[in-house]
Structure 1
Amino acid sequence: MQIYNIHDAKTNLSRLIEEAVNGGKPFVIAKAGKPLVKVARIEEEVAKPLRRIGFLKGQIKAPADFDRMGADEIASQFEGNAS
């Protein structure tokens, strides 16, 4: 990995960034020979898979009285008649 001092990096920053982006060659910027930062291309984020709404349509059947199932039991529990 190539190391550049701050002055050289400032002078050639555009060229160095182009090399990092296009050539995939990261570089280090140093001050007085001591590495300070590493400059590298940012990899594109992997797209999250799209949520497929309705992908089970036709494969699952709900009973016709689904919204009323257990209504009597629930009502008795609210009324304090838990069995």
Structure 2
Amino acid sequence: MEDVMLQTVEAVIERDGRVRLLEAVMLPESRRALVTVLPDAADTAEDLAAAYAEMAADEAREAEALEWSNALLSDVADEAR
């Protein structure tokens, strides 16, 4: 049996369950594969935008983040170069 390196390829899973690879994969014989279902990129972007808006609306959290970043910048400014 020939050694085959692990490969990761992007694919789309159709609604009927068919898997469509987005690039060609050449193998010496049939191989097993694992499929990981990822969230839709559009859904992820919308969720991320909503999470950032929620964090920005939290004034106490924003004040704490500003204080932390100012302290960090102060520490970096004090370092010898």
Q: TM-score by structure 2 length?
A: 0.26
Of Structure 1 and Structure 2, which has the larger fraction of its residues in strand?
1
What's the TM-score once normalised by structure 1's chain length? 0.25
Larger radius of gyration: 1
Structure with the largest fraction of helix: 2
